Amino acid sequence: MGGDEIKYVQEAFESNYIAPLGPQVDAFEREFIEKFKIRYAVALSSGTAAMHLALRVLGVGPGDEVLASSLTFIGSVTPVVFQGATPVFIDSDCVSWNMDTELLAEEIELCKKRGRLPKAVIPTDIYGQCADMDRILAVCSEHAIPVISDSAEALGATYKGRSAGTGAKAAVYSFNGNKIITTSGGGILASEDEKMISHARFLSQQARDPAPHYEHTQIGYNYRMSNIVAAIGRGQLKVIDDRVEARRNIFAYYQKALCNVSGVEFMPEASYGRSNRWLTIILITPEEFGADREEVRVALERHNIESRPVWKPMHLQPVFKGYRIRGGAVSEDLFHRGLCLPSGSAMTTGDIDRVISVIMDCHKKGRWKYRKR
Ligand SMILES: *Cc1c(COP(=O)(O)O)cnc(C)c1O
């Protein structure tokens, strides 16, 4: 927490607005759109809920296909299934680790030949690095396919100087506990399209028609952010720039220490933008490093240091067995070699040094194993 959160929570308590909705929610939405220069936003209970509402408002339904990044967190694509539609997965490129726009164009061509264009495209801004939105939009706008940016991990990142997610039909953000700023749980759906956001807002509050009694002509959801949670979010918005700086410094510190170690590579930063470096990720080539990603993870765990493999691609998930994938080798390689290192904004250089020393031990001890024959 940054410090001001408790002040806003106190305000919420004193006004006795311990309810969904209320002045903190309105203020959070207002401060969010001011900060990130997006015209309209609705605060919701999670990023997954935001994605669900976006797809629902676009009319995604049974029989539809939605193209999505394979390298992502599952909350990006479960809403496609909630709507009865089918996700089709697109591999990453090596430069940004985001949706490969060549593969996207090829898949859209295939869909066209089959006589059924995708109903939407969902690129994820992976690990806080923006997808190449202008190229994605160029491919999609030719066929008027709406793009929903999954920017859940990328708040505070920029693409050609603009906030992550801008330019898309709508963008999804998350304030889950693991994200760069958090409200303990929550999300936002943002867009330049006022109608889209007002429709999403309506659906997020059980689709109550205007009437003194409870009147419903549509099925809605209970997806609204609560006033208390929004109070935390207002405090967090004040520290987002500091958090991005902290995460970028952590990345730079790891990189300085490990960049000359053979068999270690860092997640690249695409030239078109500035990543928030939500997590610091390394790729480990075992033949050169002397140990594989899993050995390093287990070694860290033995020192009570948590690290995680890169997201397991959606096309490898048992629940999506048999779903279409275009490409796949890049995200599979990132999964097999990629390790997310501890990256919390509050880490001290002493903490980072501890992580580095365990990694270096693996390198030194393991070298013999993979020596080239
Ligand atoms: C966290 C995350 C989500 C889901 O957000 P929640 O608020 O946890 O529902 C969606 N997509 C990506 C890429 C995420 O990292």
Same domain assignment for residues 197 and 225: yes
Range of the domain at 181: 5-240
More confident residue, 15 or 107: 107
CA–centroid distance, 288 to ligand 1, in Å, is: 34
CATH number, residue 306:
3.90.1150.10
Q: How many domains is the chain built from?
A: 2
Identify which of 42, 76, 99 to mutate to test ligand 1's pocket (most ligand atoms within 8 A of the CB): 76
Reported pTM = 0.96
CA–centroid distance, 155 to ligand 1, in Å, is: 12
Reduce the DSSP state of residue 73 to 3 states and report it. Answer: coil
Number of helices followed by number of strands (H, E) in the chain = 13, 15
Do the Cβ atoms of 262 and 255 come closer than 8 Å? no
Same domain assignment for residues 219 and 279: no
Q: What is the pLDDT of residues 233-273, one digit of tens each?
A: 999 999 999 999 999 999 999 999 999 999 999 999 999 99
Do the Cβ atoms of 212 and 70 come closer than 8 Å? no
Same domain assignment for residues 221 and 260: no
Same domain assignment for residues 43 and 182: yes
Q: pLDDT value at position 370?
A: 58
Q: Which residues sit with their C-beta closer than 6 Å to ligand 1?
A: 46-48, 72-73, 75-76, 124, 150, 152-153, 174, 176, 187
Do the Cβ atoms of 85 and 65 come closer than 8 Å? yes
- The alpha carbon torsion through 5, 307, 52, 59 (nearest 10 deg) reads 140
In the chain, the percentage of residues whose pLDDT exceeds 70 is: 98
Same domain assignment for residues 174 and 268: no
Q: Which neighbouring-strand residues pair with 204?
A: none
Same domain assignment for residues 249 and 192: no
Q: What is the pLDDT of residues 17-60, one digit of tens each?
A: 777 778 999 999 999 999 999 999 999 999 999 999 999 999 99
Same domain assignment for residues 94 and 172: yes
Same domain assignment for residues 229 and 363: no
- Of 196, 212, 240, the residue that ends a domain is 240
- Of 197, 220, 240, the residue that ends a domain is 240
Identify which of 44, 89, 153, 340 to mutate to test ligand 1's pocket (most ligand atoms within 8 A of the CB): 153
Same domain assignment for residues 176 and 303: no
Model confidence at 219, pLDDT cuts 50, 70, 90, reads very high
- Of 225, 240, 255, the residue that ends a domain is 240
Q: pLDDT value at position 29?
A: 98
Same domain assignment for residues 205 and 167: yes
CA–centroid distance, 161 to ligand 1, in Å, is: 23
Q: What is the pLDDT of residues 66-119, one digit of tens each?
A: 999 999 999 999 999 999 999 999 999 999 999 999 999 999 999 999 999 999
What's the rounded Cα separation, in Å, for the pair 139 and 146?
Answer: 11
Q: Which ligand 1 atom is at minimum distance from the Cα of 49?
A: 9
CATH number, residue 109:
3.40.640.10
Type of residue numbered 35? K
Q: pLDDT value at position 21?
A: 75
Same domain assignment for residues 164 and 274: no
Examine the pLDDT at 367 and tell me if it is beyond 70. no
Same domain assignment for residues 188 and 324: no
Identify which of 149, 176, 311 to mutate to test ligand 1's pocket (most ligand atoms within 8 A of the CB): 176
